[in-house]
Amino acid sequence: MEDWEFAIDPSTLKFHQRRVSNLPSPVWDYGLSPVTITATACLIDWPVDGDMFAASPPENPDCVGPERVIELSPFGVGNLVLLVPCCTNWSAFR
């Protein structure tokens, strides 16, 4: 399983839009989204709550791994809400 327990640095958000003449079908299939967001992020301690889903995002988490750039891409077609903690202790990794 890939890492998912990230906190982001909101000052590094970059929004990307690909021009397409026709939307692919299905539009939100992996790698086909015309919009993505990249951000500097780091792994944090963010436990699982139950067997299948994450607990509420931690407040003011500390990085437990090196910073890296991640890409966020829409998944599915419903109205989405993204809850991602923001790390305030970047000095330990820069």
Q: How far apart are CA 21 and CA 26, in angstroms?
A: 15
> What HEC string does 30-55 produce?
CCCCCEEEEEEEEECCCCEECCCEEC
pLDDT over 60 (residue 10) = yes
Give the pTM. Answer: 0.71
Domain that holds residue 58: 6-92
User: Total domain count for the chain?
Assistant: 1
Structural domain contains residue 74: yes
Q: How far apart are CA 84 and CA 94, in angstroms?
A: 21
The percent of residues above 70 in pLDDT, for the chain, comes to 81
Structural domain contains residue 62: yes
Instruction: With cut-offs at 50, 70 and 90, classify the pLDDT of residue 92.
Output: low
Structural domain contains residue 70: yes
Structural domain contains residue 76: yes
Structural domain contains residue 1: no
Structural domain contains residue 40: yes
